Chains A and B, each alone.
Chain A
Amino acid sequence: MTTLDTRPGVVDTPPLFTIAEPRLLASRPWDVPARDQRWLVEAADRVGLLGRGGAAFPVARKLAAVRRGARVLVNGSESEPASWKDRVLMRRYPDLVAAGTALVGRALRTPRMVIAASDAPSVAALQAAALRHGAPIEVHLVEDRFVGGEIGALINGLNQRAAVPSGIRVLPHERGLDGRPTYASNVETFAQLGLLSALGPDAYAAIGAPAEPGTSLLTLHGTTRDGVFEVPHGLELRRLIGPHTGPILLGGYHGTWTTRDDLAVDRARLRTQGIGWGAGVVAVLPEDTCPVGEIARVAGWLAGQSARQCGPCTFGLPAIAGDLADMIVGEHVDTGRLRTRLGQITGRGACHHPTGAIGFVASGLNAFDADVRRHLAGRPCGRAVRGVLPLGAAR
């Protein structure tokens, strides 16, 4: 493991580590040669590049779905409070982000490139990098809201409408920026494309897992060395987490708690195990914090993040958060009703927020079943809720 020092002048970000060979976070600035759209599609396909925002959609397919003249939108809003990887990338490696953005923009002969971030330090770093590149990249500071980071909501906001998800989902490649076809992806995806162009597919694929070569950025919480990591795909989570035993959260606050201890950083395999990698948040809970309280705290936050457009989310998430709040202190909870509530919300909303939130809560209650039962029996554990899982802190 390598610790990468904080560079002077960078506003406080978590520590940065790499396991094995650093790629995105290599110290040298990459020279990113121009490529055409076909080269990018073929290269992304060969290395099995997946989008890094959470949905893990194949980049080659998304890139092939737009024509020349499409707009380019880089989502750096990082609305997941437990994730730091995008901000670390934008603040410390803005030149790779700008180069990756310009690479895609040039390949598509785009009339417009936009990077959206929700924190001022990232915006400043990216603006300076765009100037250094001489690329006409617009860098926008957008509102920091969990649901606002959803791509439809982000596009609505950039198009001067309310920054909330649309009732009927329209994909960016059909109608995005300015109502025109747009290639939109997470900021790390653009950095990975820049790296792919710099290295070529063979060298890019020299590390990582066979099905998914290369590396990913992730954010780790709850261990003795928390921070942002660049890791090669295929890395066993045990190596990342260390000696900790107990449930692991993968994918953040729309993610999944699991009690398995044989998992690896491998999006395809995790998916077959019913677990989404999301935006690469990995968390464990230390012994000295109440897991029910940690989950309840996040559940309350998730309820507050609803855009309040859809009934099941507006009413269901606060009701569930209320049940969990009662559970912390050992108050009576109608478990049958809680089960119904948890079972009824999935899939009922304009965006993924209610479904993702329920996945987090339900899997957490399962994974910490013994603690939950003790609380439900009116015997709360007495441990404090330390707030290991961060909520919207200073950006």
Chain B
Amino acid sequence: MSRLRMDWTRCDGHGLCARLLPEAITLDEWGFPVIEDITGVDPAAVRTAVASCPQLALRVEK
């Protein structure tokens, strides 16, 4: 099972990930991602979200 991992020191709360993966990521009141389980989420969409993060804060961990 793969998991989305955050480097929280990089994340600036741009919020792109939540737009690209609304089924797995919501934003808290300050705009920082709250990550749910990504099992069953289209892996291609996950890869796109990871690659789109302007801070390169996201990665997929097996």
Contact = CB atoms under 8 A, between A and B. Distances in A.
Contacts of A319: 29
Interface in B30-57: 30-32, 34
Contact of B8 (A167, A337, A340, A341): A167
Among B6, B9, B32, chain A packs the most CB atoms within 10 A around the CB of B9
A310 B30 contact: no
Nearest to B7: A167
A350 B11 CA distance: 11
A316 B30 contact: yes
Contact of A350 (B8, B28, B32): B8
Main secondary structure on B side of the interface with A: loop
Nearest to A313: B8
Interface in B1-35: 6-13, 28-32, 34
Nearest to B57: A167
Contacts of B13: 311
A319 B29 CA distance: 10
A310 B28 contact: no
Among B6, B8, B10, B32, chain A packs the most CB atoms within 10 A around the CB of B8
Among A312, A313, A337, A350, chain B packs the most CB atoms within 10 A around the CB of A312
Contacts of B7: 167-168, 350
Contact of B32 (A164, A168, A309, A311): A311
A344 B28 contact: yes
A312 B28 contact: yes
Contacts of A344: 28, 34
Contacts of B12: 311
Interface residues of A, number: 20
Interface in A143-177: 164-168
A349 interface: yes
Among A166, A313, A316, A348, chain B packs the most CB atoms within 10 A around the CB of A348
A315 interface: yes
A310 B8 contact: yes
Nearest to B28: A344
A165 B9 CA distance: 9
Interface in A300-322: 309-313, 315-316, 319
A316 B27 CA distance: 13
Contacts of B6: 348
A356 B50 CA distance: 28
Contacts of B31: 311
A350 B34 contact: no
Nearest to A310: B8
Contacts of A310: 8-9, 11
A166 B11 CA distance: 13
Given A311-B8, A316-B28, A337-B29, 17 more contacts: A166-B9, A167-B7, A167-B8, A309-B8, A310-B8, A310-B11, A311-B11, A311-B30, A311-B31, A311-B32, A315-B30, A316-B30, A319-B29, A340-B29, A348-B8, A350-B7, A350-B8
7 contacts: A309-B8, A309-B9, A311-B8, A311-B11, A312-B30, A337-B29, A340-B29
A-B residue pairs, 6 tightest by C-beta: A167-B9, A310-B8, A311-B32, A167-B7, A315-B30, A309-B9
